[in-house]
Structure 1
Amino acid sequence: MVQPSFPIVTESDSRLPLYLTSIGHWEYQERTRRPGGFPDYQWLQAISGTGELEVDGTRRQVKPGQGFFLLPNETHVYYPTSEPWGLHWIAFNGSLMPSWMNHSGIRRSGVYALSDPDSLIAQMKAIYAMSLTGRPFLGAECSKLLYALLLDLSRNAKTGSSSSPRHDQKLQPVIRFIEDNCHRVLSIDEMAARIGVSAQYLCHLFKRVFQLRPMEYVNRERINRSKELMLNEPQLKLREVAHRVGFDSPSYFSSVFKKIVGMSPEQFRGRRFDNGFRIH
C-alpha cells in the first residue's frame, strides 16, 4: 500500500479553478460503501484484478484499462470481484468542474474505457509525488498537474454511448491529424481525405463517436490548447493565444471560448490571479 496524501487546502487554494484534496494507490482495494457519497469529485483507475461499481441504480465491472468517475455526494459502492484489485485514485474540486464535464462528455458517475490508461497513471503518480514535496505554492503546482490530467482524461475516456471500437479506430488518423495541425486553417475535406471518405460520411462518424461535428471537435481541441497556453505562458496576450491555436480572429476565439467553457478567456485567465497569486 502507498500511503495516501491529503494536502492541506488553504483558503487561497480553494479559490483555484481546480484543487487537489487527496490522492493515493491501493494495491488491495477493499469494499467501499458510501451512502452519502464523497464530498469531492473522484477518478479511480484499475491497474490489476477486477471489481464492480454500483452507482445510480446500475452495476458495472471495472478492470484494468478502465476507470470510474464519481460525482460529489452521490451514493455509491465499489468492491473487488477478483483480487488483488489495485486502484489509483485522486479526489479534487473546483469551479472549473461543471464546464470541464460539459466539454469532456463525462457528465455523470460511471465506468469509462480508456485509450491510453498508462499515461493517466503516470500523471497521477506525478501529482502524488508533487503533493509530498511541501514546496511553496504547492496548491497551484498540483492544480497545474491536475488540469493537465483532466485534459488528457477528456481525450482518453470513451464517452460516446453509440460509438464502437471500429468507428473509434477509423477516426484515429483524423484525430492525430487534428492534434498536429489545429494551429492552422483546416477544412472538412482535408480531414476526410486522411481516411478516404466523403465529408458527409466524416460528419456521420464524428457525430456517432463524439456527438460533435468535425469542426466542433477541432474548436474544442483549439480551446484546450488555448487554456494550456494561458496556464503555462500567462504573459501572452489573448490575440497571440488565439493566433497560436488557429483562430484568425481574436473576437471569434473569445466567442467560441465562452460557448465551450462558459466564461470569457479574460475571466478564465483572471481566475489564476486570485488574491494576488500567480502560477509560474
Structure 2
Amino acid sequence: MDIIHLCHLSESDLHLPVYLTSAGQWNHQDPVHRPDGFASYQWLMILSGEGAVHVDERIYSAKAGQAICLFPNVPHRYHAIQEPWKLMFISMEGSLCPTLLAQAGIMKSGVYNILNADKMQADLANIITGAGSNDNHTNLECSKLLYSLLLDIPSHIHATQHTRHQHFERLQPVTRYIKEHCHQPLTIQLLAEQAGITPQYLCLLFKKAFNIRPMEYVNRERIQFSKELMVLEPQLQIQEIASRSGFEHTSYYCTVFKRLEGISPEKFKKSHSY
C-alpha cells in the first residue's frame, strides 16, 4: 500500500538543525519530471525494480540496494525501467543537512550504493512510521531519527563509480536527441550518428545501460510526450495524439501505452480531463 505523510511544521520546528518535511513509500513510482527541482533535500531508497534518474546533465541507474539523493531546487526527472519500481522516500530541510551529507562525500545529487540496505530500510521505516503519528512531539522525534540516519550515511554508502555510468555518458547525446525529437521519425542509424558509433554498438550500449533496446527507449519518451499532450491539449483525439507523438499507427500506440502505463490512453485522458 502506498504511504505518504506530509509534515505540519510549527515555527519552532523550522529552527531544528534537521527536520522532516515528508515521508512515505510508493509500491510503484510513477514518472516524475520537475523542471524547477524540489524545495527540500530528498532521499529515496530503492526496494525493488530499477529506474533511470536524470539530473545535472547525467543519467543514473537506480535499482534495489541503492539510494537517490536529490538536492533542493535542482531540475530532475526519474522513471521506471524495470517495474514495479518500489521505493521509500523522505524529504528534509535544516541548516545541518548539507554538512551531514558532505561528511558522506555527498556534495551534489546522485545515486549511491547502500552497503547495509536492511539497516537503512529499517531506519527509514521508523521515520515513516513516526511521521504518521499525531502526537505533539512528532516533528521533534522525527528530527532525532533523521539526524541519526544522516550520521549513519557515511558508513552505509559509497558513490556508484562503475562502467555503467560510462555507458550513460556515452549515450547522453543520443538520449538528449531522443527527448527533443521523439515526435519525429527516428531510426537506429540516425540515433547512432548522434554518438558517432555503429548501430550495433548503440544497441549494445543501450542494453548495458538501460537493459532495453534503443527503440524501446524511444517509445517510452514518445508515451511520455503523448501524456503531456493529453494534459496540455485535452481537445485532441487519440488518433491525433498518436500521430503527433511519433507513432504511425494508432493501434500500436495504444498497445505500447497500455503495456507501459497499465491503462489505455483513453482512460488516462479521461482521468486527466477537467
Q: TM-score, normalised by structure 1?
A: 0.56
Tell me what 1:19 maps to: 19
Deviations 1:200-248 (A, max 9, x none): xxxxxxxxxxxxxxxxxxxxxxxxxxxxxxxxxxxxxxxxxxxxxxxxx
Report percent identity of matched pairs. 39
What is the deviation of 1:160? Answer: 8.2
Structure 1 residue aligned with 2:42 = 42
**3-state SS of paired residue (1:74):** coil
How many residues in Structure 1 have an aligned counterpart in Structure 2?
162
Q: Distance in 2 between matches of 1:50 and 1:85?
A: 6
Q: Residue 138 of structure 1: CA displacement?
A: 1.6
In structure 2, distance between residues paired with 1:133 and 1:157 = 29
Determine the structure 1 residue equivalent to 2:192: none
Task: Write the letter of the residue equivalent to 2:54.
Answer: E
Q: Secondary structure at the match of 1:91?
A: strand
Deviation at 1:153, TM superposition (A): 1.6
| 2:53 match | 53
Question: Is 1:107 matched up with 2:79?
Answer: no
**Cα displacement string for residues 120-140 of structure 1 (whole angstroms, at most 9, x for unaligned residues):** 111111111111221222211
| 1:5 alignment counterpart | 5
Unaligned runs of 5+ in 1: 163-280
Structural RMSD (CA): 1.4
2:44 counterpart SS class: strand
Greater than 2 Å deviation, 4+ residue runs: 159-162
Question: Are 2:28 and 2:86, in contact at CA under 8 Å, matched by a contact in 1?
Answer: yes
Separation (CA, whole Å) in 2 of partners of 1:47 and 1:126: 16
Pairing 1:152-191 to 2, within 5 Å after superposition: 152-159=152-159
Contact 2:112 2:160 in 1 (8 A): no
- Rounded to whole Å, the distance in 2 between the matches of 1:82 and 1:160 is 19
Check whether the contact 2:4–2:23 (CA below 8 A) recurs between aligned residues. Answer: yes
Aligned to 2:131: 131
Cα distance in 2, alignment partners of residues 20 and 99 from structure 1: 16
CA–CA separation in structure 2 for the residues paired with 1:161 and 1:87: 22
C-alpha deviation, 1:49, in angstroms: 0.7
The 5-angstrom pairing of residues 83-232 of structure 1 reads 83-159=83-159
* Distance of 1:2 and 1:43 partners within structure 2: 17
Question: What SS class does the counterpart of residue 45 from structure 1 fall into?
Answer: strand
Does structure 1 conserve the Cα–Cα contact (< 8 Å) formed by 2:53 and 2:61? yes
Deviation at 1:116, TM superposition (A): 0.4
Q: TM-score, normalised by structure 2?
A: 0.57
Q: 1:118 to 1:82 in 2, by over 3 A?
A: same
Give the CA deviation at 1:109: 0.1
Distance 2:59 2:159 in 1: 17
CA distance in 2, matches of 1:98, 1:61: 23
In 2, the alpha carbon distance for the partners of 1:64 and 1:161 equals 16
Gap runs ≥5 in structure 2? 163-274
Going from structure 1 to structure 2, the CA distance change for 1:134 and 1:3 (only over 3 Å counts) comes to: same
Match in the other structure for 2:242: none
The amino acid of 1:21's aligned partner reads T
Q: Distance in 1 between matches of 2:128 and 2:161?
A: 32
- The separation in 1 between residues aligned to 2:102 and 2:122, in whole angstroms, is 25
**Shift in Å, 1:159:** 3.3
Q: Secondary structure at the match of 2:133?
A: coil
Alignment of 1:252-271 (within 5 A): none
TM superposition shift of 1:149: 1.0
CA distance in 2, matches of 1:139, 1:55: 30
Cα drift, residue 25 of structure 1? 0.5
Q: Secondary structure at the match of 1:158?
A: strand
Q: In the alignment, what sits opposite 2:70? A: 70
CA contact (8 A) 2:4 2:25 kept: yes
